[in-house]
Amino acid sequence: MIISEMQRKLATWTAADPSRRVERLLRLITLCRANNLAPSMSRRGNCWDNAVAESFFSSLKKERVRKRIYKTRDMARADIFDYIEVFYNRTRRHSHLGGVSPEAFEKASP
């Protein structure tokens, strides 16, 4: 129940004026703390902890999630699965892999 209440509140905040991003972030942090949840994937004050994960989720949000509206959670899961398994791993070129996809990089590796 706590999570569904948080999702409802976050949906309301997300639809709000984009210029109030800091206010929404502070609300999220307060809500997470009140429910003993961690609002970040890294240690406090250390943005380098999970730089790879943060980069991936940034790409996921920018390239897929923010461009769509999901009617159900299952639709969101299926679309995110498609993004990861079909696009991100097989097609999307990664600069740190020399401009090739992870799948092509693995095939080229001895």
Tell me if 59 sits within 8 A of 50, measured CB to CB: no
Q: Find the helix packing angle between 2-14 and 21-34, rounded to 10°.
A: 170
Tell me if 101 sits within 8 A of 92, measured CB to CB: yes
| Residue 84 identity (one-letter amino acid) | I
Domain enclosing residue 77, as ranges: 51-110
31 and 58 both lie in a single domain: no
Over 80: is that where the pLDDT of 87 sits? yes
pTM for this predicted structure? 0.51
What is the rounded CA–CA span in Å between residue 70 and residue 77?
Answer: 9
57 and 22 both lie in a single domain: no
Q: How many domains does the chain have?
A: 2
For residue range 35-56, what is the model confidence (pLDDT) as tens digits?
887 666 566 667 677 777 788 8
For residue range 10-36, what is the model confidence (pLDDT) as tens digits?
666 555 565 666 777 777 778 878 888
Instruction: Judge whether 45 lies within some domain.
Output: no
Q: Can you name the residues that pair with 94 across neighbouring β-strands? A: 100
